[in-house]
Structure 1
Amino acid sequence: MSEPVTQSISTHLLVDAPWEAYRRPYVRDLAYVLACPNVLTQWLDFAPHQNTHAIAVHSANFWLRQFEKYQERLSELDTTNAYQALTRYLLKRPSPNRLGFHFEGLLSFWLEDGFARKLHPYETLASNVQLFSGKQTTGELDLILYNHAENLVEHWELAIKFFMGSAPFEPVNWVGINSNDNLQRKMTHMQTKQFRTVWVDTESHGQVKIDKRYGVIKGRFFLPKNIINFVYPSWLAPSFPMHEWCDKYDTSTLAMLDIRDLRAAHYIEWFTKREFYDGRPSALIHSENGILKTGLYFEGNRPIVIYPKQHDETDDKL
């Protein structure tokens, strides 16, 4: 197990963001999905008495290698008409404007396109496999892959998460805009629901047995703005994108922000910033009784989340 890492507020914010080198928004998103490490250095078992299967995670080096091997193709997508293949692929998928589906679409494009170009060994056998209990749908498996390098059938379950952290920074303390969503709850659900499956029926490859399971959890985390030093727990990847959040009712900390430097983010910008939204009326700052609305903002190019430390039920609707 790796040792905890301590970093100051000036260094824990992501400096190396290779996705920012790309001009076209979907290419930048795709580069982000590849270059961003898994949030986890190891899987944490929150259901030790439920007889579940072992779950693995890909290392940060694994994802960096995938990004590097795909860079030439990313440049092609960013500078030629090949971009149309990416946009068509994403927009024909169900609910392409929802963040989770967008993440899944980007990763699925890389899997199919990269395998066809022999840039990785993962052949997609099935995706979005429905689970049933009798005639009732009980869940869905994201990706069933065949790893030709290791001759294994792998089940990858995906999650894109944008969580705000608070002390003591355990998985249960990283929560979403909807405070019922937290990292521990998500991992427990994946382990006790989707990852229990052993056999999968596929349309093109018949019934296959899962040999290995991977949790693929990416996104961004946000630390309290007034924190000075942050000790990374051993389970949290030190290179995971880390930014700041501020309590919407903390007037003294909010006073440190110049509201003129803030821009409300469009929903898709939880992935990467779109400069063409700068200056638009929809990006104007709105407040209620002088309190900024909960959500994502940009302070220049730096993401910052305004979030209620004391839960406000109205924010669950965002």
Structure 2
Amino acid sequence: MSEFKTSRPDTPPTYAPWEAYQRPYVRDLAYVLACPNVLTAWLDFAPHQNTHEITVHSASFWQMQFEAYQQRLKELDTTNAYQELTRYLLKRPSPNRLGFHFEGLLSFWLADGFARNLHPYETLASNVQLFNGKQTTGELDLILYNHKEKLTEHWELAIKFFMGSAPFAPENWVGINSNDNLQRKMTHMQTKQFRTVWVDTENHGQVKIDKRYGVIKGRFFLPINTNDFSYPAWLAPSFPIHEWCDKNDTANLATIDIAALRAAHYIEWFSKRDFYDGRQSPFIYDENGALKTGLYFEGDRPIVIYPEQRDRIDGKF
């Protein structure tokens, strides 16, 4: 039986079966599969534009994919097969960037799982460049053929770690870079990448997209000591929810064991690496004597230190 965990007693438990795996990339892969989509349904923020229908996979869909792949995850976690996963990820462009890491994990599962008949999705193309004349205007993440439904699908991917504030509408979930929020990301996906109909592939010729899926995963963080939060209808109730704190909020910072905090390494936005414990100073100050913005761990409890004033801070996301 997979465990349910939460870092906040006042929220529903978060499904976290990825923590059962020992090897970091296997834990990340399990997280990418078992974590539900942020959304229960796509929200149309561009109703007056001529855009296509967009779908999201249900939480039960991702649970089914995770369960079908569990035996392979165990093999990757306990045998030399782990090298297949590490080699695949590390040979990809910019493997240390979270978005590319997320895409690499899903791409590995798609190719590996299809070869093992664990799902019906054949990868036809990935990172398809879009052009306006000779100018590159964007790219499409994944073009798949669903052999079960006999449909060509376009999956657009996003991995997001957003801090929320009341009233917790999509525009109120903001990233480390305050120009990034959930509503803006969805609008961009809908009005840019998802407008494409025909795609040229290297090995399968030109294909017509039949269905479009927005795959948005990650973690959300509520203001610390929020006691009146209710999941909006659009937010998956099993989506990972944690806490964030204003770095100048002395009252709430006093409730945190600052001496026990450890700044997370970049990859730990996916899952905590215990081998980093004790290897660095427990916290990092900026030039003004405040904790630097970012993800920290208080034991196994993830918490983001973030400026309430929404200052723009350049990050790696």
TM-score range (shorter-chain normalised) is: over 0.9
The question of whether the paired residues in 2 share the 8 Å contact of 1:9 and 1:230 is answered with: no
Is 1:287 the counterpart of 2:248? The answer is no
Output the CA distance in 1 between the equivalents of 2:65 and 2:254: 42
> How far apart are 1:316 and its partner, in Å?
2.6
| DSSP-derived class of the 2:136 partner | strand
The question of whether the paired residues in 1 share the 8 Å contact of 2:39 and 2:236 is answered with: yes
| DSSP-derived class of the 1:231 partner | coil
Counterpart for residue 226 of structure 1 = 225
Output the CA distance in 1 between the equivalents of 2:134 and 2:69: 41
> How far apart are 1:163 and its partner, in Å?
0.1
The Cα offsets for residues 40-78 of structure 1, whole Å up to 9 and x where unpaired, read as: 000000000111000000000000000000000000000
Label 1:8 to 1:160 Cα distance change in 2 as closer, same or farther (>3 A). closer
The question of whether the paired residues in 2 share the 8 Å contact of 1:9 and 1:228 is answered with: no
Output the CA distance in 2 between the equivalents of 1:33 and 1:14: 18
Cα root mean square deviation, aligned: 1.4
**Structure 2 unaligned residues grouped into runs of 5+:** 1-5
Counterpart for residue 216 of structure 2 = 217
User: Normalising by structure 1, what TM-score?
Assistant: 0.95
The question of whether the paired residues in 2 share the 8 Å contact of 1:13 and 1:241 is answered with: no
The question of whether the paired residues in 1 share the 8 Å contact of 2:295 and 2:302 is answered with: yes
Output the CA distance in 2 between the equivalents of 1:8 and 1:72: 28
Label 1:161 to 1:317 Cα distance change in 2 as closer, same or farther (>3 A). closer
1:54-203, aligned counterparts within 5 Å? Answer: 54-203=53-202
> How far apart are 1:157 and its partner, in Å?
0.1
Output the CA distance in 1 between the equivalents of 2:7 and 2:124: 44
The question of whether the paired residues in 1 share the 8 Å contact of 2:219 and 2:240 is answered with: yes
1:11-26, aligned counterparts within 5 Å? Answer: 11-12=10-11, 14-26=13-25
| DSSP-derived class of the 1:102 partner | helix
Identity level (%): 81
The question of whether the paired residues in 1 share the 8 Å contact of 2:18 and 2:31 is answered with: yes
Label 1:277 to 1:13 Cα distance change in 2 as closer, same or farther (>3 A). farther
> How far apart are 1:112 and its partner, in Å?
0.3
The question of whether the paired residues in 1 share the 8 Å contact of 2:46 and 2:187 is answered with: yes
Letter in 1 for 2:285: S
Counterpart for residue 247 of structure 1 = 246
Output the CA distance in 1 between the equivalents of 2:33 and 2:181: 23
> How far apart are 1:299 and its partner, in Å?
1.1
The Cα offsets for residues 111-156 of structure 1, whole Å up to 9 and x where unpaired, read as: 0000000000000000000000001100000000000000000000
Label 1:8 to 1:205 Cα distance change in 2 as closer, same or farther (>3 A). closer
Output the CA distance in 1 between the equivalents of 2:72 and 2:283: 38
Output the CA distance in 1 between the equivalents of 2:268 and 2:12: 17
The question of whether the paired residues in 2 share the 8 Å contact of 1:39 and 1:217 is answered with: yes
User: Normalising by structure 2, what TM-score?
Assistant: 0.95
Output the CA distance in 1 between the equivalents of 2:310 and 2:7: 28
Further displaced range: 13-22 or 210-219? 13-22
Counterpart for residue 3 of structure 1 = none
